Amino acid sequence: MTALSAAPTTRQRQARALALAPALAITTGALILPALVMVAYSLFAYVPGKITDYTLTLGNYARLFGDSFYLRVLANTVEMSLIVTALSLVLGFPVALFLARTTPRLRGLLAYLVFLPMMVGIVVRAYGWMVILGREGLVNSALLKTGLIDAPIRLLFTRDAVVLGLTEVLLPFMIMPILSALEKIDPHVEEAARALGASPAETFWRVTLPLSLPGVVSGSLLVFSLSLTAYALPALLGGARVKFIAALAYDAMLVGYNWPLAAAIGVLMSAVASAVIYLYLSALRGR
Amino acid sequence: MGARRHWIWWCLGLAVGLIYLFMIGPIMVVLIAAFSSGDTMEFPPAGWSLRWFAALAGHADFLASFRLSLGLGLIAAAVATVSGALAAYGLVRYRRPCQAGIETLLLAPLYVPRVLIAMALLLVFAKLGLAGSLTGMIIGHALIALPFVVRTMSASLAGVDPAVEEAARCLGATWRQAFVLVTLPLVRSGLAAGAVFAFIVSFTDVYLALFIAGPETITLPLRIFTFMEWEQSPMVAAVSTAQVIVILVVMALAEKTVSLSSAGRI
């Protein structure tokens, strides 16, 4: 290619190592090593009143898999994450399709509006949902005014509130990959299908949709893994009634100070999430 | 374009409009509720006032957290931007067999769920005496901000012809001079976008703060989070509005130099 990259001198190799050093130090020191420490912790015995006891045991995992409470919360989290993923797909695909087909100017503005909520952060958006769904919130006051209900109904601290909030927060992660996939489709392919006699609906079902599949797959897996490990939003919109698996890790870690058990929950979550990421990457590679 | 659209197109447009309402609605509601004159989360508010902003200005805890988050965001963004920009340079300019592995490692904080990062960090920080410290928060936020800088910088470095830098080297510039005087000015928009992302990631993070913040390092999102769990006065709307305004101002400043929305594609 170029002189710089074709024949690296010792000095250039040093320069590269030097350039990569700070970032690699951060990722290794603050991500890889702590992850290994977490795995180690999950194998330590828990002695009440003592943060760490270095006796090795599989007891934490035995407790997780032996206690129906933990498994029920995990199953519940997986179930709700599947619903959130399906809803995000149903809502996200039309948006991505519209963005891919509209004028460049409008696309720029609308893409910015997808991106903006992501930058605002989840705490503010969770609060927005509390204002909308609360006892005196937007929905209840509208329903009361129209006479559909006589007394405020409980919308907040329900499964539906958590599903709604998570869908809203994770929707951009669905829209962006699908939009990228749709933009990569050569317009000539669709034109060819139309020229060969396919109706617009047929063209969509047999050409556009299959070609957008990589985006659908990556968006779905991204949304699913983010939902599976959500903590803040379910805690705020679900209250004590709707527990996600991450809430159990938080409770074990910061309320019960049972760090080995918290670490085991963490390892379990990463195992499920890694399986998802592995699927995600192999699905991308398969295309 | 769009002169003779099929009627399905207009149905799609309507549906998309409603979905946008769903996405933007919660934020709009917060911005409106901040101007309520009532004491509850009643919406729409019965009356309008600025009393919750006044209350916010007198609330020492929120102000302290606001200042902390601003400072933390700036420091974390600086650390992430410098190390991320250097790393992107090393990645783009000197390709090696272990390229993919290094790239994956640098982007990993983006794909590893925040909760897991936070839990793992707490386990380590507790041993090192960094739990609850500002240093710990800076390390954590620099980590989660790093991929955003690496990605935006890699994209803009890829658009710069290495020959430009070689020319500078041939004319006698040192490696450092070539980087600082030639390459850096050419990628300043990517650098700005990366720094803005890094700041916003830190400024809005609640996950890491939930686990590794201490009484002295309660960030703004964490303060709002804990306040919300107990009390639901429009004060939360006012402080959230203040947070959103900071984010919008930072983004507007950066949007002048670079299109963030295109750089932010997942």
* Res B257: pLDDT: 62
Q: Does pLDDT of A2 surpass 60?
A: no
Give the architecture-level CATH label for domain A67-185+211-286.
Orthogonal Bundle (1.10)
Choice between B200 and A190, residue whose per-residue pLDDT is larger: B200
Contact list in B for residue A51 (CB cut-off 8 A) is 126
Could A263 and B82 be called an inter-chain contact, meaning their C-beta atoms sit closer than 8 Å? Answer: no
| ipTM (interface predicted TM) | 0.85
Q: Are A73 and A244 in contact (CB under 8 A)?
A: yes
* Res B230: pLDDT: 80
* Res A3: pLDDT: 44
Question: Is the previous residue joined to A48 through a cis bond, with omega within 30 degrees of 0?
Answer: no
Could A8 and B224 be called an inter-chain contact, meaning their C-beta atoms sit closer than 8 Å? Answer: no
Classify domain B60-263 by CATH number: 1.10.3720.10
Query: What's the gap in Å between the CA of A95 and the closest CA on chain B?
Result: 5
Q: What is the block-wise mean pLDDT of chain B (266 residues), using blocks of 10 residues? A: 69 93 93 90 87 90 94 97 92 77 89 91 94 95 95 87 86 84 85 90 94 94 89 86 90 69 47
Domain range list for chain B: 60-263
* Res B260: pLDDT: 53
Domain range list for chain A: 67-185+211-286
Give the amino acid at B217: T
Closest partner residue to B43 among A2, A136, A246, by Cβ? A136
Could A37 and B124 be called an inter-chain contact, meaning their C-beta atoms sit closer than 8 Å? Answer: yes
Closest-CA residue of chain A to B36: A131
In this structure, of A54-63, A182-191, A278-287, B56-65, the range with the lowest mean pLDDT score is: A278-287
* Res A172: pLDDT: 93
Distance (Å, whole) CA A197 – CA A203: 9
DSSP designation for B213:
B
Tokens at B176, concatenated: 């450092």
* Res B164: pLDDT: 85
Cα angle vertex A267, ends B111, A60, to 5°? 165
Choice between A281 and B217, residue whose per-residue pLDDT is larger: B217
* Res B112: pLDDT: 85
Which residue out of A16, A81, A139, A175 would a mutagenesis test of the B interface target, given it has the greatest number of B Cβ atoms within 10 Å? A16
Closest partner residue to B6 among A126, A200, A228, by Cβ? A200
* Res A197: pLDDT: 87
* Res A286: pLDDT: 64
Contact list in A for residue B79 (CB cut-off 8 A) is 26
Choice between A97 and A8, residue whose per-residue pLDDT is larger: A97
